[in-house]
């Protein structure tokens, strides 16, 4: 059964939110979410690449030969990642430094390549735009929320501003690599519990 444009958009916000429902794109989810700012920065960069690559793949789906489609998809994605990287260097250099190697690694993010292969290559421009926008916003919100949880518990700050006062003893484990797994696991648990009701 074909979904409407609004259904294609909304599925990425809850039913198929990439890190929590599809369990895709976990490398940046775990690596860059020490703060809200880093999480949202990576999310917005991924959102831009996802929407633009979905649109271009959809527009060229009848022109790209099936035998080289994955290579073509990667070239399209890499083009938009390069644009994001250059813009980030020019406009948000501290964020570019904070995200480090994970910005160019957006090229191999399984969410973007997966949406190009599974959706954009088979659907029209408007549906592909809605799919990319919904998945991208869902991914950005996921990274932002995970970054907020880790920053608040691990540093006692939110967006760099102290929220608990000087007596707060931060749970620094949460801003370390194992804390990312624990926070992700707890959020997966909460989403599954909420989804059952």
Residues 81, 104 contacting (CB under 8 angstroms): yes
Residues 135, 24 contacting (CB under 8 angstroms): no
Give strand pairing partners of 162: 157
pLDDT tens-place string over residues 99-140: 988 888 888 888 899 899 999 999 999 999 999 999 999 999
> Domain-by-domain residue ranges, the chain?
5-196
- Write out the H or E segment, with its range, that includes residue 17: none
| pTM of the complete model | 0.89
pLDDT tens-place string over residues 58-73: 999 999 998 999 999 9
For residue 189, the model assigns a pLDDT of: 86
106: which DSSP letter? G
With a cut of 70, list the residues of the chain below it in pLDDT.
Answer: 1-2, 197
């Amino acid at each position: 059964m074909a979904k409407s444009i609004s259904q294609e958009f909304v599925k990425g916000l809850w039913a198929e939110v990439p890190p929590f429902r599809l369990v895709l794109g976990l490398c940046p989810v775990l690596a860059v979410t020490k703060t809200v700012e880093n999480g949202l920065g990576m999310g917005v960069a991924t959102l831009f690449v996802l929407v633009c690559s979905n649109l271009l793949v959809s527009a060229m789906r009848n022109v790209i030969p099936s035998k080289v489609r994955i290579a073509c998809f990667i070239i399209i994605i890499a083009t938009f990642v390069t644009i994001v990287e250059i813009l980030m260097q020019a406009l948000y250099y501290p964020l570019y430094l904070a995200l480090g190697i994970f910005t160019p690694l957006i090229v191999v993010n399984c969410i973007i390549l997966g949406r190009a292969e599974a959706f954009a290559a088979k659907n029209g421009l408007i549906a592909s735009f809605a799919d990319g926008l919904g998945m991208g916003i869902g991914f950005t919100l996921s990274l932002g929320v995970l970054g907020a949880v880790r920053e608040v518990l691990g540093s006692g700050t939110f967006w760099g501003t102290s929220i608990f006062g000087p007596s707060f003893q931060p749970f620094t484990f949460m801003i370390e690599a194992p804390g990312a797994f624990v926070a992700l696991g707890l959020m997966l648990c909460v989403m599954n519990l909420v989804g059952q009701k």
